Structure 1
Amino acid sequence: MTGSGGYRVDPGGLDGLVRELHSGADAFNGLANQAPVTPDCGASTELVGKALAKLVGSGAGLGGILVQTADKIHRSNGSYGNVENVAANRLDKGMHGRQ
């Protein structure tokens, strides 16, 4: 974070994003647990059942990806401050000469 106001990040915003991703994952996992019973579609019942199963499976897969993404953001959030401070220090030295 620079004193010149050039750019800034709010680590709390990253925490909020992690919470949103986990919430989305929970929603997809909840849908997977409430998979509908295959409706009677006559000759197409088997195909509709397979399509529903694929949709539920895709939702569960997406929930897993959301959790993985949230975990990566959470892990990187702690190191972000260090990286930010090093980068700001380098920029300050470059703009104001070595001190």
Structure 2
Amino acid sequence: MKNIMLVCVAGMSTSLLVSKMQKAAQDQNMEADIYAIAEGEVEKVIATKMPDVLLLGPQVRYLKGSFEKKFKDMNFPIDVINMADYGMMNGENVLKQALTLIG
């Protein structure tokens, strides 16, 4: 089971992308918990649900450095979703990005 957290301003703009990623995971017979949350909810959610990877929407890419410092001891990768894939809502490519980061 892969645990993939997407973060955006309010957790809403990524909800369509989450749906497309879930479909891509289902097409690959992969068990994945993919969800989107607002930037202000990250610490609260991580306290109860440790992600395998945290992906930031392009609109909150400025958070990458502070999140890397804040969560460095938790050993999960943090990256920004490719802007073209985000804009096109390409769930398959964003899922590939997440899986590559997980390793």
Q: Which category describes the TM-score, using the shorter chain as reference length?
A: under 0.3
Structure with bigger strand share is 2
Larger Rg computed on CA atoms = 1
- TM-score, scaled to structure 1: 0.26
- TM-score, scaled to structure 2: 0.25
Structure with bigger helix share is 1
